[in-house]
Amino acid sequence: MALERSLILVKPDGVERRLVGTIIGRIEAKGLSLVGLKMLQITAELSRQHYAEHVEKPFYPELEAFITSGPVVAMVVEGPEAISVMRTLMGKTNARESAPGTIRGDFGASRQMNLIHGSDSPESAAREQQIYFTESELVSAPALLSPVMWAADEAN
């Protein structure tokens, strides 16, 4: 098991609905650490970079219109297996099918306006972190609480 970093966005619908604090609260309550945080407006160019794998898909124009429609909050979160832990915490892409207890399942009812983005693999996480953050914008989280949160072999 490894300490990982995932790139998370609270999407424009989450910001507009004043759910930023609630969503960050869930991430922190799970035990993940914030190591980077900023608010920004995604441009069309940035959207094409972020969603490179979807640019040719039929739904891309609507997705771009949505993701550029208002500010987002970008974060890098860290913890043991943070990438898959965040995907589980988020729920399925289509919020109507997301389980209750997940962020999308509790707060969303749309496939597109699904509140949150999270990296889907270590490769995506590395690529996406570079899109939003420079190395100097990411802090090293203090390990003070780690001994009471997980065993040493869960985060090496």
Q: How far is the CB of 78 from ligand IDP (least distance, A)?
A: 20
Q: How far is the CB of 29 from ligand IDP (least distance, A)?
A: 21
Question: What does the per-residue mask of binding to ligand IDP show for 33-72, with x meaning CB under 6 A?
Answer: ---------------------x----x--xx---------
* For Mg ion, the closer CB: 106 or 120: 120
**Can you name the residues that pair with 4 across neighbouring β-strands?**
79
Give the largest Cα separation in the chain, rounded: 47
Given a contact cutoff of 8 angstroms between Cβ atoms, the answer to whether 60 and 68 are in contact is no
Q: CA 116 to CA 93: how far, in whole Å?
A: 9
Q: CA 76 to CA 63: how far, in whole Å?
A: 22
Question: What does the per-residue mask of binding to ligand IDP show for 115-134, with x meaning CB under 6 A?
Answer: --x--x--------------
Helix (H) / strand (E) element for 74: namely strand 71-80
Among 93, 99, 101, 126, binds ligand IDP (CB under 6 A): 93
Q: CA 117 to CA 13: how far, in whole Å?
A: 12
Q: How far is the CB of 111 from ligand IDP (least distance, A)?
A: 5
**Which residues would be at the binding site for ligand IDP (CB under 6 A)?**
54, 59, 62-63, 93, 111-112, 114, 117, 120
